[in-house]
Amino acid sequence: MTNSRKTTTTRNISAVADITDATEAEAVVAEEGGEEAVAPNALRKKELIDRVVEVSGMKKKDVKPIVEATLAVLGAALSNEETMNLPPMGKIVINRKKDLANGEVLMTRIRRSTKAAETGEEPLAEVSE
């Protein structure tokens, strides 16, 4: 009987680096007539799904429900003012929360390590035995 090692390959690490390089410009939120207008380079859900499809190599129909569920869980955690430690995204701490008639404003602090900020260097999954 032979032992076979199951390994997880690193997929499209260069694609992650390319995506990161292409989106280094920050999204700017501008106040126009009392409403927030998001700059055109802001990451939208559709674009996030497309990037996950590109990096993971999975089909869009498989990725979309996972991304939507992840965003729902993160949104709920933010609303509950939970501190999150999510490498490589970083540690997210809610400093203040203000409830408005049409939503809420969260003042957050996000701390990232230098290594985590250099995306493209880490594999998508750890090698398992």
CB 7 within 8 A of CB 123: no
Indicate whether 57 belongs to any domain. yes
Report pLDDT for 75. Answer: 93
CB 57 within 8 A of CB 11: yes
Indicate whether 5 belongs to any domain. no
Q: How many domains does the chain have?
A: 1
Indicate whether 73 belongs to any domain. yes
Report pLDDT for 115. Answer: 77
Report pLDDT for 3. Answer: 54
Give the span between the Cα atoms of 96 and 109, in whole angstroms: 10
Report pLDDT for 78. Answer: 93
- At 66, which CATH number? 4.10.520.10
- Please list the rounded mean pLDDT of every run of 10 residues in the chain (129 residues): 49 53 42 54 94 96 96 94 92 93 92 74 52
